[in-house]
């Protein structure tokens, strides 16, 4: 429905698992995150195509609609109760929150943001930056990692940024394996 490919979802899910393992969250939890992460943007099915596929900058009213995908996603996943769907709902709802409290939908800050969503935010941004989209060229690995380092403590959890850099070689291997044709 939008410009994100299936390969983006595979890559960012595997990046998320690697970061979680590196952060010491354990094999079982990290595997649940691997399976929950692909649902992070499911709420975009509730957003009009004209907004999702708009090449330029969104107008303020369009941006307000776009931001609703987080809450729509959480609603779609529902209150099932399985560990996987609970984590998927948590990720869908909170993956646009930022460490410094400047994100959406609730403006959560620091460790009040579920760690699953903090990890997915980092994985998702890294893959989006380093991938080509109809409206932008891919950034180099160096440009993307510079931005992540610079956004440590602002957009991203500083401890997770450290974990990201420790497992960067493994992340780059995943990226290589699941490249766009």
User: Could you write out the DSSP letters of every residue in 138-156?
Assistant: PPPHHHHHHHHHHTBTTTB
Q: Write down the catalytic residue from 1, 44, 54, 154.
A: 44
**2 confidence band (pLDDT: 50, 70, 90):** low
pLDDT (0 to 100) of residue 180: 77
Distance CA 91, CA 68 (A): 14
pTM of the model: 0.95
Q: Which residues are bridge partners to 133 per DSSP?
A: 136
**43 confidence band (pLDDT: 50, 70, 90):** very high
pLDDT (0 to 100) of residue 16: 99
| Residue 44 designated active-site | yes
Distance CA 174, CA 12 (A): 9
What does the pLDDT look like over 56-95, one tens digit per residue?
889 999 999 999 999 999 999 999 789 999 999 999 999 9
Let me know if domain 6-177 sits in CATH 3.90.220.20: no
Q: Which residues are CB-neighbours of 131 under 8 A, at least 6 positions away?
A: 5, 8, 138, 180
pLDDT (0 to 100) of residue 47: 96
Average pLDDT over residues 1-7: 68
Per-residue pLDDT at 3 exceeds 80: no
Average pLDDT over residues 19-24: 99
Per-residue pLDDT at 54 exceeds 90: no
Q: Which residues are CB-neighbours of 55 under 8 A, at least 6 positions away?
A: 134, 135
């Amino acid at each position: 429905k939008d410009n994100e490919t299936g390969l983006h979802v595979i890559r960012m899910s595997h990046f998320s698992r690697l970061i979680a393992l590196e952060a010491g969250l354990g094999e079982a939890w990290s595997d649940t995150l691997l399976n929950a992460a692909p649902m992070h943007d499911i709420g975009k099915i509730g957003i009009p195509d004209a907004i999702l596929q708009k090449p330029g900058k969104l107008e303020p009213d369009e941006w307000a609609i776009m931001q609703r995908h987080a809450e729509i996603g959480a609603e779609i996943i529902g209150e099932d109760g399985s560990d996987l769907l609970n984590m998927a709902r948590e990720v869908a709802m909170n993956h646009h929150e930022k460490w410094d409290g400047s994100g959406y939908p609730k403006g959560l800050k620091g460790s009040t943001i579920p760690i699953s969503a903090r990890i997915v935010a980092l994985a998702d941004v890294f893959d989006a930056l380093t991938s080509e989209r109809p409206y932008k060229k891919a950034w180099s690995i160096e440009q993307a990692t510079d931005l992540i380092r610079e956004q440590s403590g602002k957009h991203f959890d500083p401890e997770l940024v450290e974990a990201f850099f420790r497992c960067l070689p493994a992340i780059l291997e995943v990226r290589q394996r699941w490249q766009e044709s």
